[in-house]
Amino acid sequence: MNLITSQRNRISTPLVTLAGVAVFANPVVGEEITEIGPHQFTLADGFSIELAVPSDLVPRPIHMAFDDEGVLYVTDSSGNTDKAPVQVKDPQHRVLRVIDRDGDGVFDESSVFAEGLPFPEGILIHEDSVYVSAPPHIWKLRDTDGDDVADERTSWFDGGTIDGCGNDLHGPYLGPDGFFYWTKGGFREQTHPLGSGDEHRSSAAHIYRARPDGSQLEVVITGGMNNPVGLAFSEAGERFLSGTFFDLSEPGKRDGVLHAVYGGVYGRENPRVLAPHPRTGDLLPPMTHMGPAAPSGIVMARSDAHGLKGDLFCADFNLRRISRHQLSEAGSSYHCETSVFLESDQTDFHPTDVIEDADGSLLVADTGSWYMICCPTSKVAKPHVLGGIYRVRKTGAESTPDPRGLELDWENPQVSWLSDNRPAVVRRSISALATPSHLVSLQGAEDALPALWSLHRILGDSARAAVRDFLTDEDPEVRCAALHSIALWRDHEAAEGVIKCLESGIPREQRLAAMTLGRLGETRAVKPLVALSQVEGDPFLRHAAIYALFEAADIASLPGKHPVTRTILQMSQVQKKGGAVLTMPEIQLAEPMELTPEMTAKQEARLVELEALLPGGDPERGREIFQNTSQSLCLTCHVMGELGVEFGPDLTKIGAIRSERDLLEAIVYPSATIARYYEMVIVKKKSQGEVAGVIHRETANRLFLAPAPGVEQPVANQQIESAQYSPVSLMPEVFDSLLKPHEIADLVAYLKQAK
Domains of the chain and CATH, by start: 3-11+18-394 (2.120.10.30), 460-576 (1.25.10.10), 587-752 (2.30.30.100)
User: Per-residue b/e over 568-606, b at no fewer than 16 CB within 10 Å?
Assistant: beebeebeeeebebbebeebebbeeeeeeeeeeeeeeeb
∠ CA 700-705-710, nearest 5°, is 120
Kindly state the helix (H) or strand (E) to which residue 202 belongs, with its residue range. strand 199-202
Summarize the confidence of residues 363-382 as an average pLDDT. Answer: 78
> Between β-strands 351-356 and 720-725, what pairing exists: parallel, antiparallel or unpaired?
unpaired
* CA-based nearest residue to 171, from 146, 196, 143, 134: 134
Residue 696 has pLDDT above 60, yes or no: yes
φ/ψ bin of 325: left (φ > 0), alpha (ψ from -120 to 50), beta (otherwise):
beta
3: confidence class by pLDDT, cuts 50, 70, 90: very low
Contacts 24+ apart (CB under 8 A), 144-148: 148/97, 148/111, 148/113
CA gap 601, 595 in Å, rounded = 10
Residue type, 9: N
The predicted pLDDT at position 8 comes to 29
DSSP SS3 for 188: coil
State the maximum Cα–Cα separation within the chain, in Å, rounded to a whole number: 80
376: confidence class by pLDDT, cuts 50, 70, 90: low
Q: Which tens digits make up the pLDDT trace of 48-106?
A: 999 999 999 999 999 999 999 999 999 999 999 888 889 999 999 999 999 999 999 99
Residue type, 556: A
The predicted pLDDT at position 99 comes to 98
∠ CA 553-556-562, nearest 5°, is 85
The predicted pLDDT at position 632 comes to 85
DSSP secondary structure code for residue 16 in this structure: E
Residue 16 has pLDDT above 50, yes or no: no
Q: Which tens digits make up the pLDDT trace of 255-295?
A: 999 999 999 999 988 888 999 999 999 999 999 999 889 99
∠ CA 463-465-470, nearest 5°, is 100
φ/ψ bin of 398: left (φ > 0), alpha (ψ from -120 to 50), beta (otherwise):
beta
Least confident of 18-32, 302-316, 646-660: 18-32
Q: Which tens digits make up the pLDDT trace of 303-335?
A: 999 999 999 999 999 999 999 999 999 999 999
∠ CA 13-14-19, nearest 5°, is 120
The predicted pLDDT at position 13 comes to 28
Residue type, 298: I
Q: Which tens digits make up the pLDDT trace of 120-161?
A: 999 999 999 999 999 999 999 999 999 999 999 999 999 999
CA gap 72, 125 in Å, rounded = 10
DSSP SS3 for 164: coil
> CA gyration radius for the chain?
26
Count the Cβ atoms, other than its own, within 10 Å of residue 198.
Answer: 11
Residue type, 520: L
Summarize the confidence of residues 555-573 as an average pLDDT. Answer: 91
680 CB contacts (<8 Å, ≥6 apart)?
692, 693, 694, 725, 726, 728, 729, 730
Q: Which tens digits make up the pLDDT trace of 699-711?
A: 777 888 888 888 8
DSSP per-residue letters across 294-327: -EEEEEE----TTS-TT-EEEEEGGGTEEEEEEE
Whether residue 36 contacts residue 2, with contact meaning beta carbons closer than 8 Å, is answered with: yes
> Between β-strands 713-716 and 227-233, what pairing exists: parallel, antiparallel or unpaired?
unpaired
Dihedral sign, CA of 711, 713, 714, 720?
negative
Q: What is the mean pLDDT of the chain?
A: 90
Residue 118 has pLDDT above 60, yes or no: yes
DSSP per-residue letters across 438-472: GHHHHHT-SSHHHHHHHHHTS-SHHHHHHHHHGGG
Beta bridge partners of 154: 140
CA gap 347, 327 in Å, rounded = 29
CA gap 123, 490 in Å, rounded = 29
533 CB contacts (<8 Å, ≥6 apart)?
542, 545, 546, 549, 563, 564
CA gap 633, 639 in Å, rounded = 12
CA gap 80, 93 in Å, rounded = 8
Least confident of 23-32, 73-82, 235-244: 23-32
CA gap 606, 665 in Å, rounded = 10
Beta bridge partners of 340: 323
Dihedral sign, CA of 459, 460, 466, 470?
positive
Whether residue 443 contacts residue 466, with contact meaning beta carbons closer than 8 Å, is answered with: yes
The predicted pLDDT at position 582 comes to 54
φ/ψ bin of 546: left (φ > 0), alpha (ψ from -120 to 50), beta (otherwise):
alpha
Burial of 153 (0-12, 13-18, 19+ CB in 10 A): middle
DSSP secondary structure code for residue 614 in this structure: G
739 CB contacts (<8 Å, ≥6 apart)?
625, 631, 632, 747
Least confident of 18-27, 373-382, 442-451, 455-464: 18-27
How far apart, in Å, are the Cα atoms of 293 and each of 283, 323, 364, 510, 589? 21, 10, 16, 33, 23
CA gap 712, 375 in Å, rounded = 27
638 CB contacts (<8 Å, ≥6 apart)?
644, 645, 647, 648, 649, 650, 651
∠ CA 63-68-73, nearest 5°, is 25
CA gap 612, 690 in Å, rounded = 43
User: Residues in the chain, how many?
Assistant: 755
CA dihedral of residues 84, 88, 89, 94 (deg, nearest 10): 110
> Between β-strands 93-99 and 109-117, what pairing exists: parallel, antiparallel or unpaired?
antiparallel
Summarize the confidence of residues 585-605 as an average pLDDT. Answer: 80
Q: Which tens digits make up the pLDDT trace of 653-692?
A: 888 777 888 889 889 988 877 777 788 888 898 887 888 8
Residue 564 has pLDDT above 60, yes or no: yes
Kindly state the helix (H) or strand (E) to which residue 145 belongs, with its residue range. none
Count the Cβ atoms, other than its own, within 10 Å of residue 166.
Answer: 26
